[in-house]
Structures are given as C-alpha cells and as structure tokens.
Amino acid sequence: MANKLLMPKATAVWLVDNTALSFDQIAQFCALHPLEVKAIADGDSAQGIKGLDPVGTGQLSREEIAAGEADSTYKLKILDPKVRVPELKRKGPRYTPLSKRQDRPNAIQWLVRNHPELKDAQISRLVGTTKATIDQIRNRTHWNSANLQPLDPVTLGLCSQIELDMEVAKSAKSKPVEAVAEDTLIPAAVTQAPDTQDAQPEKSESGEYSADSVFAKLNALKSAENKPEDE
C-alpha cells in the first residue's frame, strides 16, 4: 500500500517557504494541483496554516530535497514510515459533504423503494443518515415528502456500486430460505390397486361369507391385475 503524506497542504506551505523546489515538484509530492501550490506561494491560499516540516516528521529526507532542487524534473519520494499505524475502521454514519447532503433524502427513498430488504443500519452506512430520517421517508412523514424523487445513491456519489452490492448481498444471505413445495408422487401400486373395501367379500345374513361372493371378488381382483395400463 502506498504511503500517504500527513497534512499535505501544511507540508506544501513549508516546502514553498523553505526550499527552492518547483511548484510542479511540490504539487506532485503533496498530491495538490500546481496552481494550488502557486496560490500558496502568492499568499492567496492556505492562509493561517502553519507549515509542517516533512523532514522532521520523517516523511522526506534532506537528500531528496537537494536532488529535487538540482533537477526540476526530479520527482520526490516519500520515505517509508518507521512505525505503521493501523487504519481505524470508520464507525457510525458515513460522512457526507455539505454539497451532497440535500440529495440524501432522495437516495434514501430510492433505497427504500428498490431494496426493501436493506435494514436501517445498512442504509445509514451507505448514505450517512439517521434511523429517524429513514423512518420519516419510509412512512412519508418527512417534511419534504411531496418533493422527494427516488435517485440512485451511486449516481449521486453518496456511495459506490461495490458498497451497495455488498450490502444487498448481506441482506440476501440473512434472508430465510422459503420452503419449496414438492409434488409428491403416489406409488403406482397404490393408484392401481383395487379398493380394499370393494375387495372384501360380502357376508350373508348369518354373518358368514358365501362361496359365490368370495369367488366373485377373487375374479374381480384378477381382472384388475391383468388390466392393461393404457386402458
């Protein structure tokens, strides 16, 4: 993973004030636009920002600065940090720039309508909102409900397509699997067997089976067994 410069603008202020590096070199090292570095040099930008010495913070060596001052096309290289600080995982709602916060209600309505399987916590992570706002938009009690239009949060730049797909996939995994009804086939021996009630011979008034009824039932059973299946 590429090393990241700490406080780029403050570092650019120090390099402008203390070195003979070109605007392009400082811009490349601090990940700024050359015009922004020029504005810093002219005093039109970064006013009130105290310069940060990158040599003192261990991000740049004196040798690198000297090499850059000797060759205007030389690109400065950031030093490997002596101590690796693990990145902190973000907790809580996503931070949304002020310019995009007005789009959040439209994005929430789009998510509620197109992905009802998403939980409030997932929507909150995607667009940086609160559960109360989600409830208001879902129940149409939001103060601006009449003017809301569902808009894709990815198109609005509130989240990436990968983040949205991951949240949808999580919901799909947690969704219980619906039982699929299977057709139960009745064995042919059951469907083709003669009714057991009909197979019983009739009793006479005295309670005994007559010989005629017994032979009649036996003949009926034989006829049913020898009956072709396609009839």
Is the pTM higher than 0.85? The answer reads no
Mean pLDDT of the chain: 77
Residue bearing the bigger pLDDT, 185 or 120: 120
- As given in the structure block, the two tokens for residue 227 are 């009956």
pLDDT at 231: 47
Say whether pLDDT at 223 is over 70. Answer: no
Alpha carbons within 13 A on the beta-carbon side of 178? 3
Q: What is the dihedral of CA 96, 100, 101, 106, to 10 degrees?
A: -120
For tokens 């950031």, name the residue. Answer: 78
Q: What is the pLDDT of residue 196?
A: 46
Count of CA atoms in the C-beta half-sphere (13 A) of 223 = 7
Q: What is the pLDDT of residues 114-171, one digit of tens each?
A: 999 999 999 989 888 889 999 999 998 988 888 888 988 888 888 888 888 888 888 8
Mean pLDDT for the stretch of residues 81-100? 54
Residue indicated by tokens 């205007």: 72
pLDDT in tens, 6-60: 888 999 999 999 999 999 999 999 999 999 999 999 988 877 788 889 998 888 9
* CA atoms of 46 and 32, how far apart (whole Å): 12
Structure-model confidence comparison of residues 174 and 5, the more confident one = 5
